[in-house]
Amino acid sequence: MEKLRDGQTPRWRNSALDKSPLWRNSTLEKLRTGETPRWRNSVLHKICAGETPGWTNSVLDKLRAEKLRVGGTPRWRNSVLHKICAGETPGWRNSALEKLRAGQTPRWRNSVLEKLRAGETSRWRNCALEKLRVGETPRWRKSALEKVRVVESPRWRNSALEKLRV
């Protein structure tokens, strides 16, 4: 009795009997009432009804439509078959064999072996071992130990500690 005086409803009032039963939420009941059930909002149902579903109004579709309006090329226009029909050369036509026929040098012609055959100098010709064969002094020969042997004074010989020792 106290709950009724305070304005609160007793628990039995909040029972399932007082609320709308589950069968009221059925599809048949929604159709009788005029509510649209979930399956009516499905993509398949919208297409059957003649409406455009949400994904057709997506940004990607708008961009594709705009590309065609402006005159841009869609993806299938960039296919190999379409390029051949249009008279353009596809990617595989730029192969080494095709470049040789056209008179261009392919990448493998720029290799070290090919440069040696042609008589050009490559990177390894500038290495220390090659310089020793030719007679030039490589960088590591100009080290502190080498300078001492040649009777040049290295940097550590000019230090304050070395000056104090002498």
Ordered per-residue pLDDT tens for the chain, 166 residues? 555 566 676 666 666 555 666 666 676 777 777 666 666 666 666 666 766 656 666 666 766 666 666 666 666 666 766 666 666 666 666 676 777 777 766 666 667 677 777 766 655 556 666 666 666 665 665 666 665 565 556 666 666 666 676 6
How do the domains of the chain map onto residue ranges?
1-41
pTM score, two decimals? 0.16
- Whose tokens are 């439509």? That residue is 65
Largest distance between two CA atoms of the chain: 116
Taking CA atoms, 6 is separated from 2, 9, 10, 12, 15, in Å, by: 6, 9, 11, 16, 20
